[in-house]
Structure 1
Amino acid sequence: MEEDTDFRIRFSSLCFITDHVGFHGTIKSSPSDFVVIEIDEQGQLVNKASDEPIYKVNKMLPEPNNLAKKTKLDRQNLSFEERSNQELSTLAGCSDGDQIHAPGSEKEDTIKDGTSEGEEGNIDVLGSLLDEKTDELLSQFACDVKERWDSKTELIGPSPEFSLGRILDKNQRTILHSAIRQKFPFLVTIGKNSEIVVKPNLEYKELCHLVSEEEAFEFFKYLDAKKENSKFTFKPDVNKDHRKAIHHFINKKFGNLVETKSFPEPNYSADNPSVVITVRFREKAHKHRKRSLLECQERKVIYTAFTLRKENLEMFEAVGFLAIKLGVIPSDFSYAGLKDKKAITYQTMVVRKVTPERLKNIEKEIEKKRMNVFNIRSVDDSLRLGQLKGNHFDIVIRNLKNQINDSANLRERILEAVENVKNKGFVNYYGPQRFGMGRKVHTDQIGLALLKSEMVKAVKLFLTPEDLDDPVNRAKKYFLQTEDAKGTLSLMPEFKVRERALLESLHRFGMTEEGCIQAWFSFPHSMRIFYVHAYSSKIWNEAVSYRLVTYGSEVVEGDLVCLDEDIDDEHLPSSKVHLVTEEEESANTYAIRQVVLPVLGYNIQYPKNKVGKWYQEVLNRDGLQTCRFKIPTLKLNIPGCYRKILKHPCNLSYQLIEDHDIDVMKEGSYIDEATLSLLISFDLDASCYATVCLREIMKHDF
């Protein structure tokens, strides 16, 4: 796939705010040269081992039995837990948004277990509750639908429907719903303000493409009866791919109601590899009885917080590995912020449905993956992005040299640069790691495709290979050539958790627009929205550079300024953002440190000067002139926020050191420049990037 260069900008073109010369050097020579430690909301470094939790502690809760072991089917269902409630609550004969038959999906028309008493009983019920003409018209409607399907004639236009009229008695409606579906499983019933409407059951028709009509007929009768502890078994089948298609169909349509398993026939052998698929109802999550206080506490969701130390490991890969070891899914983990890959990082995380004891049990296993967990404790709730004060950085910059054609004393250049940024700050760009710099496809390109609802393109961009000959990129190349998700899965290494999750979904749902939408739901919400935020971040970087080139450090009419400097960027309300007037510009009322620019979203205002016009031109360029920054199909809403264009490092300290003996440089002593390194430490607010601060200090792109 060709690189989409029109939608990205190189960091080398972004301007600086300070005017010193800077110097050259190498960062991240090894992970230990770049240490990141999260600062919690109380201002404490999270790498300090402590028995005191940073959140309110729960009483220790027993672990639910069903979490210790999860079937593969359960995990597949859970990976799509963020799909719309409408789809997840779909049951027998319920594909349209207004269809009912999910437990609790319509308060008025509920259907009790065990109402079915066999087809003959239901025929009598229909005859007793419906007048003769209505009963005949219903039978004729059913025959017409069936004849259309049997003759392979497609239904043209909207799905036909037949109304039984308004039936005021709730019990009669309940009985009619069940009686009609038992007699005509290829129909569905819908409740609308005491009216019962009958429509073709499109799921029934779809299942008939996979199994015999007799099996489909009996299966939908089984679903409607909802008899506890009952099972339904399809006919023996020797075709593994065909069985898989049946599993996928039932799991997709009715996975919240039933589960499927395959069992070999009693006479199973190489000559007779027959296997049957058995369907059974899932155990009910709640028993309809009064519970004691202790029982209610036991059912409360468990949250366990911990500090994660990882080394040279991408964060999403770390979360995926932990999820596998704990038998949960990646979206069960929450965190306050993303951390660098090529670094040693410490951050707080919270995992749902896992007890502290269970997390402690995997400590030895995850050490092999360059991870450690400590400060493990029970807490009341999950974390949210931005729920931190900032990050502390300990960084070693090696191989220090002057800029090209700069003959000044290197030591003086370093001191000048560090002090200049310490006093004047740096341009608050989003860092290159947010965009996957150095890759053929950047995260912002994927985000733009998602904003434009180009789901297939977004998937292909995500799976675009680099120009490397390794297993991961060979697998990606194979996929783009063939779109064979199953074959690509066999080539994709196990540690590529995100890629495998996406491919499993594509194998399940297909490489269609709808299939790609479902595939994106294999990622947790935080990961899906990450790509959209990457696009917004890229535009913000371009905007602030344009703003500084156009107006410099002066605050001008039409600028947006923050009226409360104590509020961090991510939570800056519009009420605290002020539009600078002509009079305020003349009076120099505001300073450059107060200027903010909007990060794209549906709830922001733009500057009323050249910068505001620039935003609109860029949105037009990228085909987003009508974009509302909401992606309903992916359940993503992007309200936007405001971000200060300048930031200052806090608690900054630095030392010049010699690589061979790590001695601190003494005043006036001479050190060979080739052996000189800089150890620098500082704190940054949440959502600020150390690499961007270093770029301003060094005047050097990495």
Structure 2
Amino acid sequence: MFPSFSYVTDHTGFRGTIKNSPSDFIVTEIEVPQHLLRDSRAESLQKAAGEPLEQSTPGPQQPNELSAESPGLLAEGCPGAVPSEQDTSRVGGDCSASPNKKQREGEPELKPDPGEGHILDSLLGKSMSERLHQFVCGLKDTWDRDRDAGGGGGELSLGPVLDKKSRASLHSAVRQQFPFLVTVTKGNEMIVKGNGDYRELCQLVSEKETSDFFKFLDAKLEKSTFSFEPDGDKEHRKVVHHFINRKFGKLLETKSFTVSDVNDQPNMSIMVRFREKGWSRKRSAGGFKEKQDLYTDFSYTGIKDKKAITYQPMVVKKVSPERLKEIGSKMEKKGIRIHNVHSACQHLRLGQLKGNHFDIVVRDLKHHSHDCSADLKMRISEAMENVETKGFVNYYGPQRFGQGQNVQTDQIGLALLNEKMVKAVKLLFTPEDTDDPVNNARRYFLRTEDAKGALVMLPEFKVREKMLLRALHRYGVNHEGCTKGWLNIPHSMRIFYVHAYCSKIWNEAASYRLKIYGSKVVEGDLVFSEENAENISLNDKVHVVTAAEELANKYSINQVVLPVVGHSIKYPSNKVGQWYHERLSKDELQMCKFRVSPLQLNIPGCYRPILKKVQNLSYFFEVSEKGIKVEDNHLNESKVSLHISFDLDPSCYATVCLREIMKCDF
């Protein structure tokens, strides 16, 4: 991995092999408790109300979840249940009262759905959510007392919500749980009040139909339809038609069609659908543009090891839970098992996880060649205790750079930072020493610069290379053409290479820092005094250690951070800072602004703790053959495997932790 890089511990270690099979390396994502996903949204609402922040206990972890995100619900928010349009128990709130007493007589009592209540609790905080429920009950009482109240009943402020996406999440969550409410924004303030249109429709059809209709309206699902109950009264159907056309005619169209009623007799029903124009075209700067194909989006919080069994939540947009369950057996044939399928009201974002739990098997246990000890078990126990106490150097792992490849990703990132576009393309297409379709296509392209021919040779799964080749075929393999080629792949892919280079520099800086200063905090070091300082980006929270603070041993090595290079970070004011400048000069980046304008890349930089702790570390030995025993605390080499279990924070690498434990590179 990093043969010459420093360690923070001083034990001897041992040898062994990892990832002999995927089942030897199991990764389970540790989810962020749902109450923490509220982040600033609930906090800002509660602060506006002058109330203390709510505390809640996280629920049990449910790994390997694959959720379906309803596009009509929250684009951002918290995981929770999506209401079924046909489930009457999911309409309304804590109060069973409805806007029209006469029409609800004889109907089942309406009760809240626990999942929906949890959504609003997460977005608003429990106290503000309770205020909203009290407002709902008061509104319904007002409507019951005064049939001419229209949408009256007052209004309630939910406080300021500064983030646009957070406002959209809250708008949708309120309307889905309380379709008889209207949500509006005044400045950044969220206001809720009674929906007069809802109450008017309740005078024409049942409240269940009204509630289901407004949920259908709010979801805005492409090609979806909504049908009212069969209605043999032509004049009444005419009134309903007129109401919908008058209120929602620009968005919806209605049609009566023949259906069978509950007695299996022919009857008429009103069907509502969204007007085709709103879905088939969208306005662009040049006029109308035909609608592009819709793609199913997967979102997740972290990238996992390739050779491993991994469990993590995923959200699939525009796919129902029922559909996911239907295709479960087909997915399993491709090596993917889907568990715990349920609806969610938000997509997932990279980094939105608490960490990862690892269950790892190390096989072929041996002493290091320089180790004369006969007690391998003692060596392993010593290593575990040392790393559990002192932690490990928080290097970026080899998978960040393309382990074992002829050209690593950081080399491409350096070429992009130097705006050597043609060189970056040729580095990307440098083949490995194997004879297969992918590498044959790469060799052909480097030899001929025939982008079209290479495009035909590449397999379909090489999406990134194909996108690049299409642009090169059109614009040519020159500086301008290669620049347009890089622009033809998604921004997240372009910046990935630059981040790999920045990570490599950080690794080298961390090793240098430990070699010259060890675990002592010295003048000029950068420290971050708050807890959970992962990937900090706030310069005002990063402090430069003074001589007096070094003398007083004010800080520990666990508080030391190093910058991941970018345009908005500051460097240590000791030898490490000097090292950074010399290292960047070596790569011709001494004047680099870490902005590559032609590729729309902007790299502000951040800070990363030099050391990390391993949590919940445990281990045991397993004999691989019957009849062989572990006696007198001695292990029979290669006959016993080591099972290790531990938790790591986000952005930490298990292979790096194992390197510190075993004192060997993989």
Same-fold status (TM-score > 0.5) = yes
In the superposition, relative to structure 1, how do residues 51 and 379 fare at CA in structure 2: closer, same or farther (>3 Å)? closer
8 Å Cα contact 1:57/1:377 also seen in 2: no
Match of 1:419 among 378, 385, 390: 385
Separation in 1, partners of 2:295, 2:540: 36
Instruction: Give the equivalent residue in structure 1 for 2:642.
Output: 678
TM-score computed with the length of structure 1 as normaliser:
0.58
Structure 1 position 12 matched with structure 2 position 3: yes
Secondary structure class of the residue paired with 1:375: coil
In the superposition, relative to structure 1, how do residues 571 and 557 fare at CA in structure 2: closer, same or farther (>3 Å)? closer
Separation in 2, partners of 1:604, 1:693: 27
Q: CA deviation at 1:346?
A: 1.8
Instruction: Give the equivalent residue in structure 1 for 2:12.
Output: 21
In the superposition, relative to structure 1, how do residues 335 and 51 fare at CA in structure 2: closer, same or farther (>3 Å)? closer
Separation in 1, partners of 2:492, 2:342: 23
Structure 1 position 482 matched with structure 2 position 448: yes
Secondary structure class of the residue paired with 1:372: coil
Instruction: Give the equivalent residue in structure 2 for 1:199.
Output: none
8 Å Cα contact 1:301/1:352 also seen in 2: no
In the superposition, relative to structure 1, how do residues 14 and 639 fare at CA in structure 2: closer, same or farther (>3 Å)? same
Instruction: Give the equivalent residue in structure 2 for 1:83.
Output: none
Structure 1 position 56 matched with structure 2 position 78: yes
Separation in 1, partners of 2:658, 2:571: 29
8 Å Cα contact 1:658/1:671 also seen in 2: no
Instruction: Give the equivalent residue in structure 2 for 1:39.
Output: 30
Match of 1:452 among 393, 418, 434: 418
In the superposition, relative to structure 1, how do residues 395 and 293 fare at CA in structure 2: closer, same or farther (>3 Å)? closer
Instruction: Give the equivalent residue in structure 2 for 1:201.
Output: none
In the superposition, relative to structure 1, how do residues 581 and 374 fare at CA in structure 2: closer, same or farther (>3 Å)? same
Instruction: Give the equivalent residue in structure 1 for 2:477.
Output: 511
Q: Which amino acid aligns with 1:550?
A: I
In the superposition, relative to structure 1, how do residues 293 and 375 fare at CA in structure 2: closer, same or farther (>3 Å)? closer
Q: CA deviation at 1:600?
A: 1.0
Instruction: Give the equivalent residue in structure 1 for 2:50.
Output: none
In the superposition, relative to structure 1, how do residues 338 and 695 fare at CA in structure 2: closer, same or farther (>3 Å)? same
In the superposition, relative to structure 1, how do residues 558 and 439 fare at CA in structure 2: closer, same or farther (>3 Å)? same
Match of 1:30 among 15, 21, 25: 21
Q: CA deviation at 1:380?
A: 3.4
Q: Which amino acid aligns with 1:442?
A: Q
Instruction: Give the equivalent residue in structure 2 for 1:298.
Output: 220
Separation in 2, partners of 1:561, 1:301: 56
Query: In the TM superposition, what are the counterparts of 1:84-233 in structure 2 within 5 Å?
Result: none
Instruction: Give the equivalent residue in structure 2 for 1:391.
Output: 356
Match of 1:668 among 626, 629, 632: 632
TM-score computed with the length of structure 2 as normaliser:
0.61
In the superposition, relative to structure 1, how do residues 335 and 486 fare at CA in structure 2: closer, same or farther (>3 Å)? same
Secondary structure class of the residue paired with 2:467: helix
Q: CA deviation at 1:292?
A: 7.9
8 Å Cα contact 2:315/2:348 also seen in 1: yes
Instruction: Give the equivalent residue in structure 2 for 1:612.
Output: 577
Q: CA deviation at 1:395?
A: 0.4
Provide, for residues 243-262 of structure 1, a one-character-per-residue CA deviation record: whole Å limited to 9, x for no partner. xxxxxxxxxxxxxxxxxxxx
Which segment is superposed worse, 677-686 or 446-455? 446-455
Q: CA deviation at 1:58?
A: 7.0
Q: CA deviation at 1:439?
A: 0.7
Separation in 2, partners of 1:19, 1:591: 18
Q: Which amino acid aligns with 2:304?
A: K
Separation in 2, partners of 1:46, 1:672: 36
In the superposition, relative to structure 1, how do residues 328 and 428 fare at CA in structure 2: closer, same or farther (>3 Å)? farther
Separation in 1, partners of 2:627, 2:464: 41
In the superposition, relative to structure 1, how do residues 412 and 296 fare at CA in structure 2: closer, same or farther (>3 Å)? same
In the superposition, relative to structure 1, how do residues 369 and 494 fare at CA in structure 2: closer, same or farther (>3 Å)? farther
Structure 1 position 623 matched with structure 2 position 588: yes
8 Å Cα contact 2:396/2:507 also seen in 1: yes
Match of 1:640 among 595, 602, 605: 605
Q: Which runs of 5+ in 2 are unaligned?
A: 34-59, 71-75, 86-212, 225-291
In the superposition, relative to structure 1, how do residues 419 and 293 fare at CA in structure 2: closer, same or farther (>3 Å)? closer
Match of 1:373 among 324, 338, 345: 338
Q: Which amino acid aligns with 2:582?
A: E
Provide, for residues 115-162 of structure 1, a one-character-per-residue CA deviation record: whole Å limited to 9, x for no partner. xxxxxxxxxxxxxxxxxxxxxxxxxxxxxxxxxxxxxxxxxxxxxxxx
Provide, for residues 311-337 of structure 1, a one-character-per-residue CA deviation record: whole Å limited to 9, x for no partner. xxxxxxxxxxxxxxxx98899433222
In the superposition, relative to structure 1, how do residues 500 and 660 fare at CA in structure 2: closer, same or farther (>3 Å)? farther
Query: In the TM superposition, what are the counterparts of 1:310-459 in structure 2 within 5 Å?
Result: 332-408=297-373, 409-459=375-425
Match of 1:657 among 622, 635, 646: 622
Secondary structure class of the residue paired with 1:547: helix
8 Å Cα contact 1:61/1:297 also seen in 2: no
Match of 1:555 among 521, 524, 530: 521
Aligned length: 440
Secondary structure class of the residue paired with 2:497: helix
Q: Which runs of 5+ in 1 are unaligned?
A: 1-9, 64-290, 303-326
Secondary structure class of the residue paired with 1:523: coil
8 Å Cα contact 2:23/2:308 also seen in 1: yes
In the superposition, relative to structure 1, how do residues 523 and 337 fare at CA in structure 2: closer, same or farther (>3 Å)? farther
Which segment is superposed worse, 595-604 or 361-370? 361-370
Secondary structure class of the residue paired with 1:445: helix
In the superposition, relative to structure 1, how do residues 371 and 55 fare at CA in structure 2: closer, same or farther (>3 Å)? farther
Q: Which amino acid aligns with 1:35?
A: I
Separation in 1, partners of 2:214, 2:32: 36
Secondary structure class of the residue paired with 2:359: strand
| Identical aligned residues as a percent | 58
Q: Which amino acid aligns with 2:643?
A: L
In the superposition, relative to structure 1, how do residues 449 and 375 fare at CA in structure 2: closer, same or farther (>3 Å)? farther
Separation in 1, partners of 2:451, 2:530: 51
Q: CA deviation at 1:34?
A: 0.7
Two-structure CA RMSD over aligned residues (Å): 3.2
8 Å Cα contact 1:330/1:524 also seen in 2: no
Q: CA deviation at 1:59?
A: 7.2
Q: Which amino acid aligns with 2:424?
A: A
Q: CA deviation at 1:437?
A: 1.9
Which segment is superposed worse, 512-521 or 421-430? 512-521
Separation in 2, partners of 1:610, 1:675: 48
Separation in 1, partners of 2:378, 2:604: 46
In the superposition, relative to structure 1, how do residues 621 and 28 fare at CA in structure 2: closer, same or farther (>3 Å)? same
Q: CA deviation at 1:673?
A: 1.3
Q: CA deviation at 1:575?
A: 2.4
Q: Which amino acid aligns with 1:539?
A: I
Q: CA deviation at 1:680?
A: 0.2
Q: CA deviation at 1:529?
A: 1.8
In the superposition, relative to structure 1, how do residues 529 and 332 fare at CA in structure 2: closer, same or farther (>3 Å)? farther
Match of 1:590 among 551, 555, 571: 555
Instruction: Give the equivalent residue in structure 2 for 1:467.
Output: 433
8 Å Cα contact 1:445/1:535 also seen in 2: yes
In the superposition, relative to structure 1, how do residues 549 and 670 fare at CA in structure 2: closer, same or farther (>3 Å)? closer
8 Å Cα contact 1:51/1:375 also seen in 2: no
Instruction: Give the equivalent residue in structure 2 for 1:180.
Output: none
Which segment is superposed worse, 634-643 or 434-443? 634-643
Separation in 2, partners of 1:536, 1:688: 16
